[in-house]
Structure 1
Amino acid sequence: DFVKVGTKNTEDLPNAAAAKEIVLTVGSKEYTVNKEAKTADAAAYIDANNRTMVPVKFIAEEFGKLDFGTVNGVGTVTVFKDGAVLQFQNGSNIMNKNGIAIPMDTAVVIKDGRTYVPFKYVADGLGIGFSFDPATKSITFTNQVK
């Protein structure tokens, strides 16, 4: 016997399947999607551990689906994309991917009312390609059509 576990609303994620190149710059709310200019509600920043933190809402809106909730009284963010389920808890340096705890080298934080996660882990967890240009402090996320 076995149990198949699905995730809510993942069957209809148009953003998750679309080919995209997203470029954002640390400290700026301006970014591009396939060279089209857009504005986010919060900017990426570099934390005390020298890790680039991005607002998780930004990633989820562009690549998947987002759900905010509470687990054991702690704020939790869940991101869904193509069958992957990532969970981040405020103050924790653990990313939960499909039930597996993955240590991160910096913790999730809430800053100015936004939840920030280290971009490398959320990109890896969702299967999104990424690069960071230290000269311009820009991050490029890439997603390919399946």
Structure 2
Amino acid sequence: MKKLSLIIAIVALVTTGFYISYFSKSAYSSDAGKLEITFDFKRGVPVEPGMGLASAQYAVWIEDNNGKLIKTVYVTSYTSKGGYLERPESIPVWVSKAKPSQLSDLQLDAISGATIMRDGERKYIWDCRDENGNAVPVGTYRFFVEGSYSWSSKVLFSGTVTVGGNTQNNIPVTADYNDEETHNRDMITNLKATYIAPEPSGSVLKYFIGSTEYTVNGVSNTMDTAPMIHEGRTFMPIRFVTDNIGAEIQWQAADQTVTITQADKTIRLKIGNSNATVNDASVPVDSTNQNVQPFISNGRTMMPLRFIAENLDCTVEWAPEPRMVTVIN
């Protein structure tokens, strides 16, 4: 098989045989997370000596909820390279979906594995991208593992994964066998699927009303003045936000103005003023309450947290219990 940078194959000898894993370079960097599918593979033996095996073929692929093929994660080489013409019963569902006769050699090389099949654990990773390398939209998708284990006898494993949600362990998987044939039925066993949610790419800050303790990506820190509720809004020394998201802050005592800059964004607020400027455009600090304006308390400048964080393209979440504000950069 041609050597491609798109596919990396790692083969490590373990006590049960060979451990084989196939994954794309982007599998560990996708913003949408990744789906891991593992199972034990056993190549099997011929029904009768000299008859040939006619099995050990399988494919792993992803579809959307409308049955459209999103990506073939893996398919055995024999079938992908024309074996479906010699043996039409070989993983027919995948063949009907992927239409390998219409794929180029380069495309087939990118999804197929070595011809020699050894017993052992298999791991396949979908990087939540389509055939063209584009990240798929957040939502639910169907994954399939089809195996032809003895001539026309086959099994189709399937399950549903939610991309963009929380980590999902032990995703339910259904196994559908097309007949009662038991010979080589243990070709694919112990199939498990896990969706691993992506790690936050920026900072997650948590502040607690009335407490000087706060966290940055789970690490505890201390500020000198606790956040407070004023006019129904959270106010706090904004430096404890800006310093943790890469923004700069300046205090001009002459006119009691605070200037915050980050990339191409500049925000200016003035003590006692219900209006601010964002890139020189005048905007209300709170369109529903003109009393929401910066103020000084015990020598500390208290700023409206949500207004500043959202104008710096952060997400702000409020939890009534335990009166916690989360800022996600």
Is 1:99 the equivalent of 2:291?
A: no
Unaligned stretches of 5+ residues in structure 1: 1-17
Is 1:90 the equivalent of 2:266?
A: no
1:81 — aligned with what?
Answer: 262
| CA drift at 1:116 | 1.2
Q: For residues 76-131 of structure 1, what are the alpha-carbon distances to aligned partners after superposition, in whole Å with 9 as ceiling and x for unaligned?
A: 11111121111110111112111011102301111111111111100111111110
Aligned counterparts of 1:37 and 1:86: Cα–Cα separation in 2: 28
1:59 — aligned with what?
Answer: 241
Q: Classify the secondary structure of the residue corresponding to 1:102.
A: strand
Aligned counterparts of 1:59 and 1:19: Cα–Cα separation in 2: 13
How big is the alpha-carbon RMSD for the aligned residues of Structure 1 and Structure 2?
1.3
Alignment of 1:1-146 (within 5 A): 19-47=202-230, 49-63=231-245, 64-70=247-253, 73-105=254-286, 106-143=292-329
| CA drift at 1:135 | 1.9
Aligned counterparts of 1:125 and 1:91: Cα–Cα separation in 2: 19
Q: For residues 50-75 of structure 1, what are the alpha-carbon distances to aligned partners after superposition, in whole Å with 9 as ceiling and x for unaligned?
A: 111121221221121111114xx420
Aligned counterparts of 2:303 and 2:297: Cα–Cα separation in 1: 11
User: Under a length normalisation based on structure 1, what TM-score does the superposition of the two structures give?
Assistant: 0.79
Answer whether contact 1:67 1:78 (CA < 8 A) is retained. yes
Aligned counterparts of 1:81 and 1:23: Cα–Cα separation in 2: 20
| CA drift at 1:136 | 1.2
Q: Classify the secondary structure of the residue corresponding to 1:74.
A: coil
Aligned counterparts of 2:232 and 2:243: Cα–Cα separation in 1: 25
| CA drift at 1:31 | 0.3
Aligned counterparts of 1:88 and 1:115: Cα–Cα separation in 2: 11
Aligned counterparts of 2:206 and 2:248: Cα–Cα separation in 1: 19
Larger Rg: 2
Q: For residues 15-35 of structure 1, what are the alpha-carbon distances to aligned partners after superposition, in whole Å with 9 as ceiling and x for unaligned?
A: xxx710000101111000000
Aligned counterparts of 2:301 and 2:309: Cα–Cα separation in 1: 15
Relative contact order higher in (CA < 8 Å, ≥ 6 apart): 1
Counterpart AA for 1:75:
Q
2:34 — aligned with what?
Answer: none
Unaligned stretches of 5+ residues in structure 2: 1-200, 287-291
Count of matched residue pairs: 123
Aligned counterparts of 2:236 and 2:312: Cα–Cα separation in 1: 14
User: Under a length normalisation based on structure 2, what TM-score does the superposition of the two structures give?
Assistant: 0.36
Aligned counterparts of 1:118 and 1:92: Cα–Cα separation in 2: 12
Aligned counterparts of 2:224 and 2:276: Cα–Cα separation in 1: 23
